[in-house]
Amino acid sequence: QEEFVAQYGFGIATMMVEDQRMGEVDIEAEMAKDPNNAIVDAMSDTERDAYYEALYGVQLEFEEPGGDSPGVTVAPSADVTVAPTEPTGCQNTAYEETYNQGAQMEFYEQFGPMMEDLYSNLESDPRITELKGQWSSCMAEAGYDFTDEQDAQIFLLRRLEEVGAITDLDIQPDGNGWGYGGSEIEPGSSVEAAVKEIAAEEIAMAKVSLDCSGDIDKVFQEVYQEAEQRFIAENLAELEQFKKDHS
């Protein structure tokens, strides 16, 4: 964790700097390092098509209902109902076997609201509020006036919006989430210089935050595990039935 913080801080402005750096990397030179690319380039068109079909599967085609030209394939629109299909291609099949995305979606449809309540209640646990108060006091001694780490991250996001690095910053009322629009940062521009300055400030701030955090991660994990066990005990029958239905 110390190594990450020293390089990326909270992972906000610093990641923009990293994205800028990656954008300047010679893509062709990077691709040349992958031996698979040379193999694919040496294939005939027919061999390459077969390779991509085996890797990614068959591309679905759709027919617009009621169209003037029956049989013409188009991109799916709001008027097209697409039935669930089995994944095709080695990559999609492996992903489905590993992550079972369909089951994950069904799980969160059934248990998601209860899980959200579980997470939100953790913040009000006396053990957490006490440590957050200690963190805030420790940060204040270093010259930072924040109530918690999310407050510090929001401060950085507002700075980035002020300098034009991001747009349309939208903070959730509880401060637990946010969204924003991207903004193209020209190399050598004043915006890029401002982002680098904010990134340096972010790293310094994150280092202090880490020092002030103490055992907060350990305590939070303990509180979370206790809440998780309560959730399992209260919903055991439903969870066992879900597992049975998706085994």
Which tens digits make up the pLDDT trace of 33-56? Answer: 788 888 998 999 999 999 999 998
Same domain for 10 and 45? no
pLDDT at 37: 85
> Tokens 């040496």 correspond to what residue?
42
Asked if 122 and 227 touch (Cβ cutoff 8 Å), the reply is yes
- The Cα-based distances of 95 to 34, 98, 189, 217, 242 in angstroms read 22, 5, 41, 31, 21
- 192 and 234: one domain? yes
Q: How many residues does the chain have?
A: 247
Q: What is the pLDDT of residue 190?
A: 94
The position carrying tokens 């679905």 is 60
Specify the long-range contacts of residues 80-84, CB closer than 8 Å, at least 24 apart: none
Domain containing residue 40 = 34-99
Q: Are residues 120 and 191 in the same domain?
A: yes
Does residue 114 sit in the same domain as residue 159?
yes
Please check whether residues 9 and 125 belong to one and the same domain.
yes
Domain termination residue (choose one: 65, 99, 133): 99
- Name the pTM for this structure: 0.65
Residues 14 and 68 both lie in one domain:
no
Per-residue pLDDT, 123: 82
pLDDT score at 77: 46
Q: What is the pLDDT of residue 24?
A: 56
Residues 194 and 74 in one domain: no
Please give the torsion angle defined by the CA atoms of residues 59, 64, 68 and 70, in that order, rounded to the nearest 10 degrees. Answer: 50
pLDDT score for 66? 52
Q: What is the pLDDT of residue 115?
A: 85
Residues 126 and 199 occupy one common structural domain: yes
Within 10 angstroms of residue 139's Cβ, the number of other Cβ atoms is 23
216 with 241, same domain: the answer is yes
- pLDDT value of position 78: 44
| Residues of the chain below pLDDT 70 | 22-31, 60-87, 100
- Looking at residue 75, what is its pLDDT? 45
CA distances from 145 to 50, 65, 142, 155, 174 (A): 59, 60, 9, 10, 18
Last-in-domain residue among 47, 70, 99 = 99
Buried b (16+ CB within 10 A) or exposed e, 86-97: eeebeeeeeeee
Count of domains forming the chain: 2
Residue 28 corresponds to which tokens in the numbers above?
């062709």
Q: pLDDT by residue (tens digit) across 8-34?
A: 999 999 999 887 776 655 566 666 778
Single-letter amino acid, residue 3: E
Same domain, residue pair 55 and 138? no
Instruction: Indicate if 223 and 155 belong to the same structural domain.
Output: yes
Question: Is residue 127 located within the same domain as residue 233?
Answer: yes
The residue from 81, 99, 117 where one domain ends is 99
Q: How far is CA 121 from CA 16, 139, 225, 227, 234, in A?
A: 33, 24, 13, 9, 16
